[in-house]
Chains A and B, each alone.
Chain A
Amino acid sequence: MNKNEFISIMESKLIRLPKSDRDDILSDYEAHFAVELEKGLSEEEVSAQLGDPQELAATYLENLPENAKGAPYIAPEEPVDEQTQPEQAVPEQIESDQAQPDHAQPADASDEAQYDKIAGVNDEPAAPAKRNVTSIVFFFIVCTLITYPGLYIYTGALCGSCFGGIGLIIAMVGCCIGGAFVIPSSVAAGIGLIFLGIALGALGGLFLIAFNALIRLIPKIVKAMIAWGKSAFTGGNQ
């Protein structure tokens, strides 16, 4: 058994633990692999040394309450997404994972009704599909209503902060040079001009800092939009 097999068996067996706990447990084993592999052992040797991943995972679950043993972990503290109505919220909270235990998700219609009942969904046997459509529509509405005007505002802020910053810095240089020329005839006016220049320059610096921050935001925003679009299309739990 190689490292990936070992880790993924444990991961799928530990699916009903909170993700943070699961990651914490798995990190111990990943660290163990890292050290042993560096020592020159093969992944297969390390797996054998660690023991059977199924049994190991089972020992981590020993103290869990019986009723939690079949189902994946339902995170109580996860905030409910704004676009889901309260009575549909519970199925969304089930953590997504391809490696769910085969008995976790009821497939046929009667089981699904039972599942909905447990989850608190009333009179809506087709809730998952419906929610999927709703979230896709919602996604596009937000895209058109908020993202496009948002894009113009964002571009405006980007250009404004950039050119504003450059302009103010040029103004600073101008004021300082001007001040230097004025000093021989009027010291007070010259120094005043130079101070004004420095103040303008500082303002320009702030503009450029804002510009820099805005630029750095771009990849984050794009990533978040893509992730959200993805979850809207897949319904979040497939």
Chain B
Amino acid sequence: MTIQFKKGVLELCVLSMLREDDQYGYDVASKLAQSIEVADGSIYLVLRRLKQDEYVSSYLEESSSGPPRKYYVITRKGEQFLDELRNEWNSLVANVNTLIDNSVSA
């Protein structure tokens, strides 16, 4: 449950970040790791799975220093999936909050 849950949340976060702008894999990993307690390394797996499911695509761009950078772009399919995830997330949060509030006030 927790692994699946975390995986879903990470996908939601990554897709949300990518909807705003194309991002370099490293940026996604480091930004996410800052806000969620997760090993940087596991984000690359999330990106890879999203790519396999065609929710994102990637392209390489030369960088002034070091090897070419892999940028990720959200696809149309990914945007639809993000909407689904977001709805699920919102209803989950709402339900959990109601539950917590009720049990606190009870």
Contact = CB atoms under 8 A, between A and B. Distances in A.
A31 B40 CA distance: 12
A40 to B, nearest CB: 13
Interface string A47-60: 00111110010011
Contacts of A59: 42, 45
B67 A32 contact: no
A28 interface: yes
B70 A28 contact: yes
Interface stretch (B25-33, B88-96, B97-105): B25-33
Contact of B41 (A24, A27, A35, A56): A56
Given A34-B66, A35-B26, A38-B66, A29 B44 contact: yes
A30 interface: yes
B19 interface: no
B65 A29 contact: no
Interface string A19-44: 00000110111111011001000000
Contact of A28 (B25, B33, B39): B25
B33 A49 contact: yes
Nearest to A30: B67
Given A32-B41, A52-B39, A56-B42, 16 more contacts: A25-B44, A27-B67, A27-B70, A28-B47, A29-B44, A31-B25, A31-B26, A31-B67, A32-B29, A35-B66, A49-B39, A50-B40, A50-B41, A53-B41, A56-B45, A60-B45
Task: Give chain B's interface secondary structure class.
Answer: helix
Interface residues of B, number: 17
Among A25, A51, A53, A60, chain B packs the most CB atoms within 10 A around the CB of A51
Interface of B: 25-26, 29, 33, 39-42, 44-45, 47-48, 65-67, 69-70
Contacts of A49: 33, 39-41
Interface of A: 24-25, 27-32, 34-35, 38, 49-53, 56, 59-60
Nearest to B25: A28
A30 to B, nearest CB: 7
Top 8 A-B pairs, shortest CB-CB distance? A51-B39, A50-B41, A51-B41, A28-B44, A34-B66, A56-B41, A35-B26, A49-B40
Contacts of A52: 39
B18 to A, nearest CB: 16
A38 B65 contact: yes
B52 to A, nearest CB: 9
A147 to B, nearest CB: 38
A51 B40 contact: yes
Among B33, B41, B65, B67, chain A packs the most CB atoms within 10 A around the CB of B41
Given A31-B70, A34-B66, A56-B45, A50 B26 contact: no
B24 to A, nearest CB: 9
Nearest to A49: B40
Contacts of B65: 38
Contacts of B40: 32, 49-51
25 contacts: A25-B48, A27-B67, A28-B25, A28-B44, A29-B41, A30-B67, A31-B66, A31-B69, A31-B70, A32-B25, A32-B29, A32-B40, A32-B44, A34-B66, A35-B26, A49-B40, A51-B40, A51-B42, A52-B39, A53-B41, A56-B39, A56-B45, A59-B42, A59-B45, A60-B45
